[in-house]
Chains A and B, each alone.
Chain A
Amino acid sequence: MPIKTEQFYLNVGPQHPSTHGVFRLRLSLDGEVVTDVEPIIGYLHRGIEKLAESRTYTQIIPLTDRLDYLASMTDNVAYCLAVEKLAGIKIPERAEYIRVIFSELMRISSHMMAVGFYLNDCGAFFTPVLYMWREREKIIDLFDMVCGQRLLYNYMRVGGVSQDVPDEFLPAIKKFVAEMPRYIGEYNQLIKQNEIFLARSKGVGILPKETAVNIGASGPVLRASGVKWDIRKMDPYSIYDRFDFEVPTGEAGDCYDRYWVRIQEMTQSLRIIEQAINQIPAKGPICSEVPQFFRPPPGETYGYIEAPKGNLGFYIVSDGSIAPYRLHIYPPTLINITALKDMMIGWKVADLIIIFGSMDVVLGEIDR
């Protein structure tokens, strides 16, 4: 006769080290096996969309920094591209290249955090994170040199970038690109063949291709499931059609593939940066003339880019005044976490932490 058991409810979070912020998972457990998952969000809601309605178009840029605070630069780029699309502003050649260089640096830095903290969740407490933070620190030094802050850059402007890069920037980034492949080799030596890591991540948290497409997942989460979808290739914005790079994809869609896609994307980003450094015009304007309180024509637009975490979009409705009538943000991680239920059911609590870590979640973007 089987023993009668009851369902057990467990809250993971909101204050939990592996939720990467303030995020709550309400679990239904049968013993240690997860039978139901309910993500509860909204603990970090700051009302950025509403705040934006009472700010001018330039003043919204610092607010977009606070969305995905580990990749602020791409948030700035996405917002500025949307406004430029709305107002029909052309941006100078040099600014386009600077934007591409910084977007790709940001992608490398964001993936380093993602992989590092994913291994942290696997149980390799803080050692891989610190290996990756060493190189992330170099990237952040470069950002600091150009825009004066380490995390909240506020660097892109509608019509270009705010300041030109200093003279010492290009030699520094050349050195970084030259030595970075060696460090990626170090990460692989440290992690890729580690048996404990493989046993814990291969075949865990599988997101099938069909489910990934159905929920609208994007970024490394979608590509790890084997869908070759990258907005930089499919709908090239800015000047991405000038560069030669590949879109790495996974096969199984498990946690290991999500890790490995990110590592491969770092290499591809380095390739793009290298080409951009060689092609960048020597001197020239970096921002087209846009008045401080400029009024785009009435209308609406949707601009989207491939941010490190996926498809980041800004939907802007303008009524012809100095502030947008409505600003809607389409964040990649909010869409990606809707797959959690499909991925987590049937796994144990310890695997659940790994599955959640492999999604690369930043709560500033989910709750905004």
Chain B
Amino acid sequence: MKFERYGTGIVKGMALTLKHLFRAPITVQYPDEKLNISRRTRGNELVWFPEKCTGCGTCTKACLQGNIILVTHRGEESKFIVDKFELDSGRCIFCGLCVESCPYNALAMGLSYECAKYSRKDLVLSKERLAVSNDHQPSAYYRPQFDDQLPDQSLLLYDRDKGGQKLKFLPLSKRKRGSGA
């Protein structure tokens, strides 16, 4: 290949690289700084509302993995009483079809994303673990009623400051692993 002036293209590219050297970083120091995730996050650990669940089993039919185990018995007035509601989050693919199918709004996706466990047994979530609590809150995926309670997502499009934390550069001495934001 022949070029009229060899090297001009490389210099132009270098000029762009040089320009980017002086702008603020767009990444965050993850364990220390955390961005706000989407309000509709299909996060880990389903949230189950025991008082709304009628034990109809629509979610078990909607799950394409056959992953939700539901055992019920007839109580008074022949209503279903849920004995066992179990989900193996190791097999779950987080498609959200169970949440979508629930006719009584008794299921919602979770918000958490740091859910590594030491053994596979811990991944099986029981009725008590799935039930809604203070530190186990639902996301707004298919549940727009929770939309107002959740903070705005931090978007890179708006420099991630809209709703999220302002980006700041941490000096190396302050970057400690696992110290938390």
Contact = CB atoms under 8 A, between A and B. Distances in A.
Interface string A177-201: 0000000001001111111111100
B97 A194 contact: no
Contacts of B58: 292
Interface in A309-325: none
Given A189-B12, A195-B9, A62 B157 contact: no
A175 B157 contact: yes
Given A146-B40, A148-B41, A163-B40, A189 B16 contact: yes
A134 B156 contact: yes
B101 A292 contact: yes
A245 interface: no
Contacts of B26: 134, 137
Given A141-B155, A141-B157, A189-B16, A199 B8 contact: no
Contacts of A198: 1, 3, 9
Contacts of A197: 9
Given A59-B62, A63-B64, A145-B38, A194 B13 contact: yes
A50 interface: no
Contacts of B181: none
Interface in B151-176: 152-153, 155-158
A194 B9 contact: yes
A148 B139 contact: yes
A202 B8 CA distance: 18
Nearest to A59: B64
B91 to A, nearest CB: 13
Contact of B141 (A148, A168, A193): A148
Contacts of A141: 38, 153, 155-157
Contacts of B95: 61-62, 65, 152, 154
Contacts of A55: 64
Given A59-B64, A137-B156, A195-B3, A148 B13 contact: no
A144 B153 CA distance: 9
A215 interface: no
Interface string A146-189: 11110010100000001100101000100110000000001001
Nearest to A149: B42
A220 B29 CA distance: 37
B95 to A, nearest CB: 4
A197 B7 CA distance: 12
Contacts of A16: none
A333 interface: no
Interface in A183-241: 186, 189-199, 202-203
Contacts of A148: 38, 40-42, 96, 109, 139, 141
B94 interface: yes
A292 B156 CA distance: 36
Contacts of A154: 95-97
Which of under 10, 10 to 19, 20 to 34, or 35 or more describes the interface residues of B?
35 or more
A191 B13 contact: yes
B39 to A, nearest CB: 8
A122 B55 CA distance: 57
Interface in B106-165: 109, 139, 141-142, 147, 152-153, 155-158
A138 interface: yes
Contacts of A196: 10
Contacts of B179: none
Given A147-B40, A189-B12, A198-B1, A62 B97 contact: yes
A109 interface: no
Interface in A250-299: 292-293
A293 B101 CA distance: 11
B13 A190 contact: yes
Nearest to A164: B144
A285 to B, nearest CB: 16
A197 B13 CA distance: 11
B10 A194 contact: yes
Given A138-B155, A149-B41, 17 more contacts: A61-B95, A65-B95, A134-B26, A145-B39, A147-B40, A147-B42, A148-B96, A148-B139, A154-B96, A163-B142, A166-B40, A189-B16, A195-B7, A195-B10, A202-B1, A203-B1, A293-B61
24 contacts: A55-B64, A58-B62, A59-B62, A137-B156, A142-B155, A142-B157, A144-B41, A145-B38, A145-B39, A145-B153, A148-B109, A148-B139, A152-B93, A154-B96, A163-B142, A166-B147, A172-B158, A175-B158, A186-B16, A189-B16, A195-B3, A203-B1, A292-B58, A292-B101
8 smallest beta-carbon distances between A and B, as pairs: A193-B9, A59-B64, A62-B95, A148-B40, A148-B42, A144-B38, A194-B9, A190-B13
